[in-house]
Amino acid sequence: MADRKGIHGDMQRLIDSDDRPLAGLPPRERILKTASDLFYRSSIHTVGIDRIIAESGVAKMTFYKHFPSKARLIAEYMQGQTAVWLQMLATAIERPGLSSVGRVQAIFDALDGSFRQPPFRGCPFVKGMAEFGPDADTPEIKAAIARYFQSLHDLVAALIAPLDLIDPDKAVLQVLSLIQGAIVMAQAMPDGDIAAANRNAAGILLETAPAR
């Protein structure tokens, strides 16, 4: 089993890596950091451009120089969140000494670290889908969200491939469902055992799945 304390430390370092003083950042980074904090804490639709400008301390002209539309800013926020979440998972699964099943389970160790870092407010991509549904005319934002889910799918598929299962696609979908289920439950019903329960379920699922 992975060193949970070490993983929690890695998660904290990832979070702290973006904990730079706002005033010391270039204007573009100030805007993105301010927007990212606000979008994650609140709904994207309720955070207006004027608030982002005011809290980032940039001029309106400067904002529009870097982000000609709010949609462009939201898409870049989603891209930044994708990088953070995938790096978080990579930090966990690349730890030495893990079996193939253990590498999949390490995803849940990473999630556990995330759940324990307040304030945990759920999955930014699920929240994004809720705000930019099928009827929204926001192709740039939808594409950014879709890229995250495709990247997560590809990551899980790559981890499961060495198990040489008869139906790897089914196993990938099952693990993805456990991942998203853990995230939703951690937001809805905070409980220190949620990640561990889904970790165990993933292990049972993969260890009992028919192999070739």
Tens digit of pLDDT for each residue in 14-45? 444 456 778 789 999 999 999 999 999 888 99
Distance CA 151, CA 82 (A): 9
Q: Going by CATH, does the domain composed of 4-208 fall within 1.10.357.10?
A: yes
CA distance 182 to 192: 11
Domain ranges of the chain: 4-208
- Residue 112 and residue 192: Cα distance in Å, rounded? 8
The per-residue pLDDT for 18 is 55
Q: In the prediction, which pLDDT does 19 show?
A: 64
pLDDT of residue 39: 94
| Res 58 pLDDT > 70 | yes
Per-residue pLDDT, 6: 43
Q: What is the band of 210 on the pLDDT scale with cuts at 50, 70, 90? A: very high
Please check the confidence at residue 134 and state whether its pLDDT lies above 90: no
Q: Are 110 and 92 in contact (CB under 8 A)?
A: yes
Question: For 79-121, how does the pLDDT look when each residue is reduced to its tens digit (9 = 90+)?
Answer: 999 999 999 999 999 999 999 999 999 999 999 988 887 778 8
